[in-house]
Amino acid sequence: MIETFSSDFSKTIHMMEEEKLYAIANSILQSHRVFCIGMGSSVSVVNSFNRKLKNLGLCSNDYTEAAPFRDIADIATNNDCLLIFSLSGKEEQILEIAVKSKLKNVTVISITGFSNNPLQSLSDISLLTYQTPQKRKKLRSRLMLSVAAEVIFETVLLKKEGEKDDT
């Protein structure tokens, strides 16, 4: 298991493109509101990331159940961004909110598993993580989503500190 996680970690880090990380950080910092979205096992990653954004003083909320997703389409504007954590990138409720948000010119950012999935193609920016294929479909590890969230957050901090230096 340790060898598998180590390999997955290395592959995930190597798949991250610096330009995408900066683009994600810029979108987060320039957005009026950040909607952090995830379902199922991804909820813990979403909650943790959202808390960190709030601690930075950013206007961020987490949405982790299908019913509140409907509200996002009513309140999101083109000054906001959706930050979606989804290992599979195939959850129907998440895809629906991504489509509705795109129609309103909301920036859609996804952090998803390395696979050909519909969420990736709906996103303005998509950051991929790697996970060794497993036999089980439920309760798959979200460790690489957490790794990506940490790298994104550190990039946001770096950009935010750079903004302070510019003033």
Judged on CB neighbours under 10 Å (0-12, 13-18, 19+), 49 is buried
| pLDDT at position 61 | 96
pTM metric for this prediction: 0.89
| pLDDT at position 145 | 92
Residue ranges, the chain, pLDDT below 70: 132-141, 164-167
Cβ distance 56 to 29 under 8 Å?
no
List C-alpha distances in Å: 19 to 71, 77, 125, 166. 31, 24, 10, 20
Q: How far apart are CA 41 and CA 142, in angstroms?
A: 7
pLDDT tens for 89-102 read 999 999 999 999 99
| pLDDT at position 167 | 45
